[in-house]
Amino acid sequence: MIIAKNDEVKRSRIWRLAIAGSSILIIIIAVYLLMKMFTANPLEGSWESEDGDLVINVGVNGTLSVKAYDVSEGMDVSVKMEYTLDKEEKTITIKEDTADVIRQADASDGAYTREMLENALARVVTTFDYNIEGRRLILSEREYGEQLTFTKK
């Protein structure tokens, strides 16, 4: 025998160490997967609207970016926003970052105005109930019930 040169006591110790190490590794992996499953953000990622006019990139730190297509004569704009997620109530509240809207409008050299940007983003700046069905995200506005449907990119 190669391991421990036929010494049964040493082989037994090595075997116990190998089993203990692998057991600890299995427990660490299981805890990591359980934490990831129950604490992860279910909306994280990139979502494209069914109409093809919006793309929402949801980050983990309470920020998201909304890319609106055709804001002004074929121009596309990506605006940073903030969101608050309540997994128990299954709601997401999206808030406009006014400073970024102003910065985007100023950087456009008059191609679009702040009002044009606010109008393009108005339908996503509210509180939604969310539902995920496979690779589809359905946002239902809480007040009026209007729905936005997105697919995962």
- What pLDDT does residue 110 have? 78
Sequence-ordered strand ranges (E) for 26-146 = 45-49, 54-58, 63-72, 75-86, 91-96, 127-133, 136-141
Closest of 114, 147, 104 to residue 129, by C-alpha: 147
With 70 as the cut, is the pLDDT of residue 152 above it? Answer: yes
Q: What is the pTM of this model?
A: 0.71
Using alpha carbons only, give the angle 52, 133, 77 rounded to the nearest 5 degrees. Answer: 25
2-18 confidence digits (pLDDT tens): 565 677 888 888 899 99
Q: Three-class SS of residue 43?
A: coil
pLDDT tens sequence across 76-133:
888 899 999 998 899 999 998 888 888 888 888 877 888 888 888 888 899 999 999 9
Tens digits of residue pLDDT in 33-80: 988 877 778 888 999 999 888 899 998 888 899 988 876 666 788 889
What pLDDT does residue 1 have? 46
Per DSSP (E only), the strands in 1-62 are 45-49, 54-58
Give the per-residue pLDDT at 2. 59
Tell me the per-residue pLDDT of 13-32, one tens digit each, with 9 for 90 and over.
Answer: 889 999 999 999 999 999 99
For residue 13, which amino acid is it?
A: R
The dihedral over CA atoms of 106, 112, 117, 118, expressed in degrees to the nearest 10, equals: 90
Amino acid 72: pLDDT = 65
Average pLDDT estimate for 139-147: 88
Torsion sign over Cα 72, 78, 79, 81: positive
